[in-house]
Amino acid sequence: MAIGTDIEIKAKPVLKWAGGKTQLLNQIISRMPDQFNKYIEPFVGGGAVFFALAPDESIIADSNPELINLYKELAKNASRVIEVLRSMENTKERFYEVRSLEWESLASDVAAARTIYLNKTCFNGLFRVNRKGQFNVPYSNNHKANYCDEETIMAAAQVLSKATIRCSDYHDILIEYAQEGDFVFLDPPYVPVSEYADFKRYTKDQFGLEDQRRLAADVAMLCERGCKVMLTNSNHQLVHELYEPYRIEVFQTKRAISKDASTRTGEDIIVTTYE
C-alpha cells in the first residue's frame, strides 16, 4: 500500500473513545512509511487512524469484546444496526433501560446499536466499564445528541468490510499476522503520568507496567521480522527508556476526558522504528 500526506479522510470513528488519536492524525499519517503491505492495529479502540487510512488490507483487533462485536456487525449488517438505533429514543428513562441490558444476552445487531447509543447519549461521550465489564457512565441530559449519524456509520462500515476483525490479546495478533513489510500501528493504554491519567477503564482488565515492558519486547520482535512499527504513548520516562533505540517525538495534546478541566492537557509521544 502507498500513502501520501494529503490523504483524503472519508471515514471517521463511530464512537468517542478515551485516548482516541484524532488530534494526532496529521502527525501520525505524515510519519507513516510511504510503502507497506498489510496494516495491523491490535489496539484499535475508536479506530481514528484506521478509518482515516482506510487500508485495502488490514488486521484490526482489540481485547474489548463489545467493541469488536460493534465493528463486526457494522462490517456485515450496518443497515440493521441503524434500524435498531432509530428505535432507541434519547430520553433519560430509555437510556437507563438500555444501559441495564447485558449486551452479551442481546442479538449481535442490537448489542452493536446499544454500544453506539450509550456512547453518544452518556455523560461526556465516554466508554467506560466497571470490573464486571458493565457500562457505568450516567446519562448526559443532551437531548439533541446525534446518536444515529447514518452517514458516519455507513462510511465506517465500508472501511470495516475490507478488514479482518479480531477480539484478541495484541500479542497473539502480532505473532499470527505480522510479516516482513507490514506496517504495525500500536496505540496501547498509556503509562499513567498522574493519579487520574489512566483514561479510566474501557475493558474490565487493566494494562500494567509489565504489559508495557512486554509490548516493548514485541516491538523489537517486529523489527526483527522486518515490520515497520509506529507506537504512541504518554511522555513518561519509562516510555523513553523502553524505546530508546528508536526515534521518539513529543507532541502537546488536549485531554477531552479528565476529572479536572485544568489538567486537560498533556504530552504524547510518537515512536517510529524506521527512517
pLDDT single digits (tens) 34-49: 999 999 999 999 999 9
pTM score, whole prediction? 0.90
**Equal CATH topology for 25-64+162-272 and 67-155:** no
7: pLDDT strictly greater than 80: no
Q: What percent of the chain has pLDDT over 70?
A: 89
What residues contact residue 18 under an 8 Å CB cut-off, 6+ apart? 126, 127, 128, 199, 200, 202, 257
> How crowded is residue 77: how many other Cβ atoms within 10 Å of its Cβ?
16
User: pLDDT digit string (tens) for 8-30?
Assistant: 668 999 998 887 788 899 999 99
d(CA 248, CA 216): 14
164: pLDDT strictly greater than 50: yes
Name the CATH superfamily for 25-64+162-272.
Vaccinia Virus protein VP39 (3.40.50.150)
We find that the CATH architecture of domain 67-155 is: Orthogonal Bundle (1.10)
d(CA 70, CA 133): 16
Average pLDDT of 70-79? 98
Q: Where are the domains of the chain?
A: 25-64+162-272, 67-155
Helix orientation angle between 108-121 and 92-99, rounded to the nearest 10 degrees = 130
Look at residue 45 in the predicted model and tell me its pLDDT.
Answer: 94
Is the distance from CB of 25 to CB of 6 less than 8 angstroms? no
At residue 46, what are phi and psi to the nearest 5 degrees?
Answer: -70, -15
The DSSP string of 238-260 is HHHHHTTTSEEEEEEEE-SS-SS
Q: What cell numbers appear for 59 in the block?
A: 488486521
Look at residue 199 in the predicted model and tell me its pLDDT.
Answer: 42
User: pLDDT digit string (tens) for 197-248?
Assistant: 544 444 445 788 899 999 999 999 999 999 999 999 999 999 999 999 999 9
Look at residue 4 in the predicted model and tell me its pLDDT.
Answer: 52
